[in-house]
Amino acid sequence: MNMLITGLHKQILHKIKGDDKPGEPGIIITILILLFSAILLALLKLPCAKPLMQKTPFFLSLDAYFYFILSVFFINLVFAIIPKTRKYTHPFNFILILADGYCISEIVYRCSPIKVPPGWLLFLGDKGINHLNNFFLHRMMQLFPLVMILGLYYIYADSIQNYLHFGNLSISTNILNKKIPQSWKAILVKFCLWLIGILVIIFFLKKSQGSIKFPTIMLIPILLYALWNCFVEETVFRGILLPVFCKSYDQKWGNIIQAVLFGFLHFNPLDIKASLLKVLIFSFLGWFFGRATMETRGIGTSFIMHAIIVAGIEVRLLWG
């Protein structure tokens, strides 16, 4: 206990003197985590949350969110006190703040009575209304973790690589062919043409079977959904977590760690077999996007590729 108090006391003094080392949590981050944890406890007691929580398996419940955050917080605290593990608190802080933000956004989303009014959106059909609800509620709730992690990012901005800009697409890479390097701009064009070609083939196959029911107006919410979703995920994973992990470890392992985290973001415990395949696919895409970000020194390339993939998946799902 004495060691714990001494460690926290040192963190407070470091922050007051202004010489807090990158990688140590600091008193500001600790207070933020405790504050949001207290908010979570209060929100979990809301009457409107209880019926929703009773119908949800524990590993998807708000209680599971909270216990996960609390566990990471105590691990982070222990790492901050032990000198040999102190440097690993840097990435732990970012994961903790991100998890805290997503937990709050999930509570707001589940407890929100707001729905997009269907009266003036009947021409979109049920699928259109559901997609707009998903965009305006769930995806807009990503603002919580995004704002929180951006706040933490700017505390450490001087000590990590800045990828939060478009980047230089003319830089060459050997990621596809080690003998013949090509620019990321050329790779991006080829990527777009291949994906569009695949969608066109699927479209004509579906049309020949007479199974396509897709209102053209749905392209607008799909585009908004893809742009917003990929903006948030690229900002968080490639713009922030990638340089954070590269700073704490190295570029190779930093990219692998953020890619695996990105993959597990798409894991669904209710469908484990299908989810494991998705985790592998999105982990590879996360690694590929990470390489693009590090080499172009910006998230522009990964953002465009990511948005095209998401838009393509949504269009394909709406075709039935």
What mean pLDDT do residues 296-318 have?
Answer: 89
Same domain, yes or no: 145 and 282: no
Rounded Cα distance, 147 and 65, in Å: 19
Quick: pLDDT tens for 10-69: 443 344 334 444 445 445 565 666 666 667 666 666 555 555 555 556 556 666 666 777
Query: Who wins on pLDDT, 43 or 266?
Result: 266
167 and 216 in one domain? yes
Of 99, 127, 159, the one marking the end of a domain is 159
pLDDT at residue number 258: 94
More confident residue, 221 or 288: 288
Instruction: Say whether both 3 and 42 belong to one domain.
Output: yes
- % of the chain beyond a pLDDT of 70: 65
**Residue 28 belongs to what domain range?**
1-159
Whether residue 289 sits in one domain with residue 193: yes
Q: CA separation (Å) from 232 to 131, 150, 306?
A: 18, 11, 11
Residues 193 and 317 in one domain: yes
In the numeric block, which tokens belong to residue 147? Answer: 């704002």
Distance of alpha carbon 144 from alpha carbon 140, whole angstroms: 9
pLDDT at 283 over 80: yes
Cα(92)–Cα(75) distance, integer angstroms: 9
Same domain for 110 and 226, yes or no, is no
What average pLDDT does the chain have? 75
Is residue 22 within 8 Å of residue 94, measured between CB atoms?
Answer: no
Residue 249, pLDDT above cutoff 90: no
Residues 278, 261 share a domain: yes
- Of 134, 159, 184, the domain-final residue: 159
Q: Which residue has the higher pLDDT, 69 or 273?
A: 273
Judge if 140 and 276 occupy the same domain: no
Domain boundary among 159, 178, 196: 159
By DSSP bridging, strand 182-183 and strand 172-173 are antiparallel
- SS3 state of residue 173: strand
Q: What pLDDT, in 10s, does the model give residues 124-153? A: 555 555 656 666 666 667 787 888 888 878
Bigger pLDDT: 194 or 20? Answer: 194
What is the average pLDDT across 110-129?
55
Instruction: Label residue 219 by pLDDT band (50, 70, 90).
Output: confident
| pLDDT at residue 33 in the model | 65
Counted domains in the chain:
2
Burial of 65: CB neighbours in 10 Å, binned 0-12, 13-18, 19+: buried
Q: What is the pLDDT of residues 155-184, one digit of tens each?
A: 778 888 999 999 999 999 998 888 889 999
Mean pLDDT of 99-107: 73
Long-range contacts of 42-45 (CB under 8 A, 24+ apart): 43/104, 43/107, 43/111, 44/107
Can you tell me the mean pLDDT for 215-230?
A: 78
Q: Assess whether 174 and 108 both reside in one domain.
A: no
203 and 271 within one domain: yes
Are residues 134 and 196 both part of a single domain?
Answer: no
Residues 174 and 294 in one domain: yes
